[in-house]
Amino acid sequence: MLLLLKIALYVIMVFAFLLVCGYGFTRWQSAKLEQRYPNIGELTDIGGLRINSYHWPRPVGADLPPLVFIHGASGNLRDPMGAFFEPLKTRAEMLFVDRPGHGYSDRGGDANLTPDGQADAIARLMTAKGIVEAIIIGHSVGGATTATFGLRHADMTRGLLFLAPATHPWPGGIDWYYDIANRPVIGPIFCSTITLPAGLLQLDGGVKHVFQPNPVPANYSDNAAIPLVLRPTEFCDNARDVANLEAYVRKIQPRYREITAPTIIITGDSDDIVYEELHSRGLKRDIPGSELYWVRNLGHKPDYVATDLAIAAIEKLGGMPRDLNRMVRVVEKRIASTL
């Protein structure tokens, strides 16, 4: 009996030592990540929290309405910037947003645990930046915030563009690490000791999984500052977003029929992150007059793999005649050459 107690005590001491080491490593690496990926945006107080964003003023000769970009899970404003800033910087006023709790934005109160609070925060940010109406572009989990924005702020919505969205109830649960990170007490401990060292080891594989079957662009993780999500507070906030999403979209999905803004959905048939049959086809069914463009051999990142198609969709939402079916064929041919 005494031997068993000694073994148990030894195991507990080793476990505690590993947690302390993990905590110290996480604090050290979190500071290094913020040095490596400093804030390139500006914090704006919108009342109750500060939202971080990169605001590109309307350029002379712009031919598109203002554009607001909403990133997905595990992301920040640098992700859509990497895809859209350069090709659109001479054409539109743009606002790239860190959703509450992501990148360098404050989390704010409990309202921001779900897309409705986040949509309201983005609307207040737009007002603070002088943007009256915009095309709202949302990727993945940001799609739920985009749909909610179209519902709650129709007067500020020129159009909606969904890229591989997550907007509808789905079968099954969430990844185990999100489940642990979302639990009381154990979640913050997990995020403060384990997720950063483990995440750094798994980062490249995770990014490949998001893009597959398409190749990952060179230096994507660095350019999009993806490792920032491994910081403890942001990882926990990201996990809460994912954990709360299914119940939220189950409640809000019946109201999508109230959306009146012109809507385009772009998705791939090889998305291993979200169920495109449920989310994208669901949006096409639920939003009156919406258009769905389905791309063969496209994974979860149409923003990078089909940037030209997404920009053509933005142009169409901006009132320009565009043959998006033809663009789909162009993109499919290009993707086929990379497989």
Q: Give the separation between CA 194 and CA 177, rounded to whole angstroms.
A: 10
Q: Give the separation between CA 7 and CA 337, rounded to whole angstroms.
A: 59
Q: Prior bond to 213 cis, omega within 30?
A: yes
Q: Give the separation between CA 3 and CA 1, rounded to whole angstroms.
A: 5
Which residue is listed with tokens 């803004």?
Answer: 261
| Contacts with 284 (C-beta within 8 Å, 6 or more apart), sequence order | 265, 290, 291, 292
Could you list the beta-strand ranges (E) of the chain.
42-45, 50-56, 67-70, 94-97, 134-139, 157-163, 263-268, 291-295
Instruction: State the pairing for strand pair 50-56/42-45.
Output: antiparallel
C-alpha 54, offset from chain centre: 16
Does residue 80 contact residue 25 with C-beta atoms inside 8 Å? no
Q: Digits of tens for pLDDT over the chain (339 positions)?
A: 666 666 656 566 666 667 778 889 899 999 999 999 999 999 999 998 999 999 999 999 999 999 999 999 999 999 999 999 999 999 999 999 999 999 999 999 999 999 999 999 999 999 999 999 999 999 999 999 999 999 999 999 999 999 999 999 999 888 888 989 988 889 999 999 999 999 999 999 999 999 999 999 999 999 999 999 999 999 999 999 999 999 999 999 999 999 999 999 999 999 999 999 999 999 999 999 999 999 999 999 999 999 999 999 999 999 999 999 999 999 999 999 998
Cβ atoms < 10 Å from Cβ of 17: 10
Q: Give the separation between CA 11 and CA 16, rounded to whole angstroms.
A: 9
Give residue limits of the domains in the chain.
36-336
Provide the CATH number for the domain formed by 36-336 in this structure: 3.40.50.1820
Task: Write down the pTM of the prediction.
Answer: 0.95
Q: Give the separation between CA 328 and CA 28, rounded to whole angstroms.
A: 46
Instruction: State the pairing for strand pair 263-268/157-163.
Output: parallel
